[in-house]
Amino acid sequence: MHDALQYADAHLDDFTRELEELLRIPSVSTDPDHADDVERCAAWLADHFREIGMSGAEVIDTDGHPVVYAEHTAAPDHAPTVLVYGHYDVQPPDPLDLWNSDPFEPTRRDGALYARGACDDKGQLFMHLKAAEAYLETAGELPLNLKFVVEGEEETGSTHLPPFIDDHKARLDADVVLISDTAMFAPDVPSITYGLRGLAYVEVVLIGPNRDLHSGIYGGGVENPANALARLISGLHTDEHRVNIAGFYDDVRDLTEEERATYRALPFDEAEWKESVGVEAVRTEDGYSLLEAITARPTLDVNGLWSGYQGEGAKTVLPAKAGAKISTRLVPDQQPADIARKLKRYFETRLPDTMKLDFRDLHGGQPVLMDRDHPAMQAAADALEGTFEREPFFTREGGTIPVIADFEERL
């Protein structure tokens, strides 16, 4: 291990240069205009796996973007097998005017590397890849069997990964799945994520007249879909900041007292957090701390609104349609499909008779809660403690990684 660490230190500049090369590829999975870039990124990764000695590296087609697979399975008998999951696709960089530098031209500032994908998830994936390289270059072999599966659709819901897992179960068989697509609690605070929220994401469109109308001629006689949608959205929360959907909390598994004690022990500065996001005050569900509310309680948020005229100047339009995209973050034991149905029922039962409803369940992901006492979790904790010289915290995060439940159910 000492030799591998020395190798990594000696090659840090090379590692950084290679990471910058990877970050320059605009592998935006949601945008068809970047489909070729996604393919190019997959090919780049497969080539790099081969260069560091990972045998069997290949790009495997799916009905969507390809999966990159690589392995090194020459460890002694009875050695454990670790499957590392990552994704090479990235979110769109918009709005570009809020970036201080080109999102696809890595820039170093204040000891950090800024680019789209630097910490979601190309940077973390590259860390594991370079760790394997350092060990192979210095020891010649790995003390365990190591496999990588890297997808190109995580940012769009991992639609084609579940069937990929089903089709390659033997190849993906492992004792442990290692995922580094979450955040450390703080740069100097080692942490291991053992829980993630789930997701139900829907689109709601209210349809009124058969075309956009002039508000001066028709206003007062034809109900405005934007007004109607605003009323419905305003009822989605109670004054106590709870989600006002019938049955929304029916299956919620609450925090244990042990977990709440861990939250209280975390070095969390609420004032610093508010300053970092630019707010003067916070609004949380009654009875829960800010940190509990943003990581371990279910929520509902409007992610986008559209209707009518949005160009420069004025246009007195009475719009034909109004729409919203809405996400709910879920906790064990809520089910995405069940929550989507309850959301649909909310809008159906309150829909004015002047409107039609177009409701779409776009995608979802299961919430996950892992056993903190599992031997693999304890091994990770020991490794972090040895590196940081302080005991790591076990934390939950508010985001969603749908593939975790897929691995758990299918492998």
Active-site residue numbers? 89, 154
State the DSSP H helix or E strand holding residue 386, giving kind and residue range, or none if neither. helix 375-388
State the DSSP H helix or E strand holding residue 204, giving kind and residue range, or none if neither. strand 198-207
Query: In which region does residue 247 sit, left (phi positive, over 0), alpha (psi from -120 to 50) or beta (all else)?
Result: left
Q: List, in sequence order, every residue forming a beta bridge with 90; answer none if it has no partner.
A: 28
Burial of residue 41 (number of CB atoms within 10 Å: 0-12, 13-18, 19+): buried
- Residue 160's nearest CA partner among 89, 210, 216, 231 is 89
- DSSP of 332-385, one letter per residue? TT--HHHHHHHHHHHHHHH--TT-EEEEEEEEEE--EE--TTSHHHHHHHHHHH
Cα 343 off chain centre by: 22
What's the maximum distance between 2 C-alpha atoms anywhere in the chain? 81
Between CA 89 and CA 120 the distance in angstroms is 9
Count of beta carbons in the 10 Å neighbourhood of residue 265: 9
